[in-house]
């Protein structure tokens, strides 16, 4: 099984993922639809990304939902955050299902459940779902109690909601030119339209829905957005933006055509939120760059580290009443809108930042401290032994998810994988040389613990 994010379990860190029609079949989608409707009786909204297999899987999910007596609302193609916002805003909707494999390659697909407040199911809720799915103990209803299918649009309410959270007037007056690479994914339905409504001149790339993803891989990392970088330069755009397949993530290109590291953008937005609020809590996973903590502390705020994964970041943001949060992969969470990673909102917020600061994005980025992060994987067959050894070795480390150990001018994270027999080691420092030294310390310590010496 090459299923992503599962160690023999159905639900991984991002719901159910697998190669469509092999590892994630219509039969599974049918029973996943029955599962969520058994757990969350009431009306359930369903949407999908633009993948070739998405409509097949979505139809099966809807059949599952209606077969156990719940009504379904088919929202068609939509970004994950648009479905989440719709579920949050509609009191009559009790849960949501998004059919997407996010940034994974084209042959994959996935199914993820959303709670009535629009947040992704937590680990515990996924475990409960898995129990219901495996037991096949679904609600059963008679022929005349089968649910109905309704159709609605979530894009309009989503775009209007975004516009209420940003300084539309200031952005409109700034005469921005923005180049956007939708990667043929779900953002085709949102970001170009949003930019138009924010009175930007829009230059779009891969902005027609196409589940074959003919131009680039769905993950908006630097190596996949070379064309967008060129386009920003050629069109003298103020900003370039690229999304992943379900548009909960956004990465950015500055006005010179230079890719802005996702960690830098996370820190830049965290800094802005803490400065605007005069303090406050920012939530991010333990794998995030020290840049975030540096700028947040300097502005009078506090960083809370969580385990890796957006559902836990959102959960902790809710508990701690955080003002901002996100991951170092382009997944930014703006809690005044919703507790979800949000690609289109990220675009609007970055434009608002440039408009209000009246400086180009490359200048704003320069205020973020420089760090070098390097990563390495090592073989790890005994996760427990590694963690116990690390506790002895570094008793003061943060053990939220693996061990994050702070050093002068840098840190290391040793994190055993939940799904593969490996451990990931991260090291970050002000200089590349120091980062390499720290990585060496991390690798040697982990290998020594695992070899039992
Ligand atoms: Mg995604």
Give me the residues near ligand 1 (ion), CB cutoff below 5 Å.
102, 244, 246, 248
288 has a pLDDT exceeding 60? yes
CB atoms closer than 10 angstroms to residue 372: 17
81 has a pLDDT exceeding 80? yes
Superfamily name with CATH number, domain 16-153: Alpha-D-Glucose-1,6-Bisphosphate, subunit A, domain 3 (3.40.120.10)
Tokens of 352: 């608002």
Burial class of 52 by CB neighbour count within 10 A (0 to 12, 13 to 18, 19+) = middle
Q: If you average pLDDT over residues 378-405, what whole number do you get? A: 95
Cα dist from 307 to 10, 263, 283, 316, whole Å: 20, 17, 10, 10
User: Rounded to an integer, what distance in angstroms lies between the CA atom of residue 453 and that of residue 450?
Assistant: 8
What confidence tens digit (pLDDT) does each residue in 300-347 have? Answer: 999 999 999 999 999 999 999 999 999 999 999 999 999 999 999 999
What confidence tens digit (pLDDT) does each residue in 170-196 have? Answer: 999 999 999 999 999 999 999 999 999
Do the first three CATH levels of 262-365 and 372-451 match, i.e. the same topology? no
212 has a pLDDT exceeding 70? yes
**How much distance in Å is there from the Cα of 438 to the middle of ligand 1?**
31
**How much distance in Å is there from the Cα of 228 to the middle of ligand 1?**
19
What confidence tens digit (pLDDT) does each residue in 18-52 have? Answer: 999 999 999 999 999 999 999 999 999 999 999 99
Per-residue model confidence (pLDDT) at position 148:
98
Cα dist from 451 to 60, 179, 389, 444, 448, whole Å: 48, 51, 11, 10, 5
Per-residue model confidence (pLDDT) at position 7:
42
Cα dist from 341 to 68, 280, 293, 301, 350, whole Å: 31, 19, 20, 21, 14
Per-residue model confidence (pLDDT) at position 417:
86
Q: Which is nearest to 364 in space by CA: 346, 352, 375, 376? A: 352
**How much distance in Å is there from the Cα of 340 to the middle of ligand 1?**
11
Catalytic residue set: 102
**How much distance in Å is there from the Cα of 343 to the middle of ligand 1?**
9
**How much distance in Å is there from the Cα of 186 to the middle of ligand 1?**
10
For the chain, give the percent of residues with pLDDT over 70: 98
Q: Which is nearest to 303 in space by CA: 311, 312, 316? A: 316
Confidence label for 393 from pLDDT (cuts 50, 70 and 90): very high
Does domain 262-365 fall under CATH 3.10.150.10? My reply is no
Q: If you average pLDDT over residues 261-288, what whole number do you get? A: 98
**How much distance in Å is there from the Cα of 220 to the middle of ligand 1?**
10
Q: For all residues of the chain together, what is the average pLDDT? A: 95
4 has a pLDDT exceeding 50? no
Q: Is residue 213 within 8 Å of residue 106, measured between CB atoms? A: yes
Q: If you average pLDDT over residues 238-245, what whole number do you get? A: 98
Distance of CA 348 to the CA centre of its chain: 17
- The lowest-confidence range among 213-217, 308-312, 419-423 is 419-423
Q: Is residue 439 within 8 Å of residue 427, measured between CB atoms? A: yes
- The lowest-confidence range among 173-177, 265-269, 413-417 is 413-417
453 has a pLDDT exceeding 80? no
What confidence tens digit (pLDDT) does each residue in 296-307 have? Answer: 999 999 999 999
Name the class of domain 372-451.
alpha beta
Q: Is residue 432 within 8 Å of residue 438, measured between CB atoms? A: no
DSSP alpha helix (H) spans, 257-382: 262-277, 290-298, 310-320, 343-357, 361-365
| 3-state SS assignment for residue 302 | strand
Domain positions in the chain are: 16-153, 158-255, 262-365, 372-451
2 has a pLDDT exceeding 60? no
Q: Which is nearest to 57 in space by CA: 24, 15, 81, 86? A: 24
Per-residue model confidence (pLDDT) at position 408:
87
Question: Which DSSP string corresponds to 70-139?
Answer: --EEEEEE--HHHHHHHHHH-TTEEEEEEE--TTS-TTEEEEEEE-TTSPBPPHHHHHHHHHHHHHT---
For the chain, give the percent of residues with pLDDT over 90: 94
**How much distance in Å is there from the Cα of 62 to the middle of ligand 1?**
22
428 has a pLDDT exceeding 80? yes
246 has a pLDDT exceeding 50? yes
**How much distance in Å is there from the Cα of 80 to the middle of ligand 1?**
7
What CATH number belongs to 158-255?
Answer: 3.40.120.10
Q: If you average pLDDT over residues 254-277, what whole number do you get? A: 98
Per-residue model confidence (pLDDT) at position 15:
86
User: Could you tell me if residue 151 is left (phi over 0), alpha (psi between -120 and 50 degrees) or otherwise beta?
Assistant: beta
Instruction: Give this prediction's pTM.
Output: 0.95
């Amino acid at each position: 099984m090459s299923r992503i994010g599962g160690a023999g379990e159905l639900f991984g860190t991002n719901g159910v993922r697998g190669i469509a029609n092999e590892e994630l079949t219509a039969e599974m989608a049918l029973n996943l639809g029955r599962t969520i409707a058994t757990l969350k009786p009431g009306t359930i909204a369903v949407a999908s990304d633009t993948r070739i297999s998405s409509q097949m899987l979505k139809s099966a999910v809807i059949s599952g939902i209606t077969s156990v007596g719940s009504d379904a609302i088919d929202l068609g193609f939509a970004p994950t955050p648009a479905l989440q916002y719709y579920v949050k805003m509609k009191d009559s909707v009790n849960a949501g299902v998004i059919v997407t494999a996010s940034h994974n390659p084209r042959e994959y697909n996935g199914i993820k459940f959303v709670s009535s407040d629009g947040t992704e199911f937590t680990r515990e809720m996924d475990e409960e779902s898995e129990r219901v799915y495996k037991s096949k103990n679904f609600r059963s209803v008679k022929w005349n109690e089968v649910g109905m299918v309704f159709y609605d649009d979530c894009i309009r309410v989503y775009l209007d909601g975004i516009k209420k959270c940003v300084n539309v007037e200031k952005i409109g007056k700034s005469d921005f030119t923005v180049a956007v690479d939708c990667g043929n994914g779900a953002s085709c339905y949102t970001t170009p339209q949003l930019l138009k409504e924010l009175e930007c001149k829009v230059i779009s790339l891969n902005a027609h829905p196409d589940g074959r993803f003919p131009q680039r891989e769905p993950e908006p990392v630097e190596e996949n957005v070379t064309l967008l970088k060129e386009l920003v330069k050629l069109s003298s755009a103020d900003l370039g933006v690229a999304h992943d397949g379900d548009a909960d993530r956004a990465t950015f290109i500055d006005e010179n055509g230079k890719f802005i590291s996702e960690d830098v953008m996370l820190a830049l937005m965290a800094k802005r939120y803490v400065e605007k609020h005069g303090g406050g809590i920012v939530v991010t996973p333990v794998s995030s760059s020290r840049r975030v903590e540096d700028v947040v502390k300097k502005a009078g705020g506090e960083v809370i580290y969580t385990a890796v994964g957006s559902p836990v970041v959102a959960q902790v943001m809710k508990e701690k009443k955080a003002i901002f949060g996100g991951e170092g992969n382009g997944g930014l969470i703006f809690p005044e809108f919703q507790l979800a990673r949000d690609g289109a909102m990220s675009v609007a917020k970055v434009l608002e930042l440039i408009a209000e600061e009246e400086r180009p994005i490359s200048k704003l980025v320069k205020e973020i401290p420089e760090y070098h992060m390097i990563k390495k994987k090592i073989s790890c067959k005994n996760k427990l032994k590694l963690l116990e050894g690390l506790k002895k070795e570094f008793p003061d480390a943060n053990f939220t998810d693996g061990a994050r150990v702070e050093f002068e001018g840098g840190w290391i994270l040793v994190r055993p994988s939940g799904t593969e027999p490996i451990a990931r080691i991260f090291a970050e420092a002000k200089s590349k040389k120091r980062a390499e030294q720290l990585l060496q310390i991390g690798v040697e310590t982990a290998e020594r613990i695992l070899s039992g010496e």
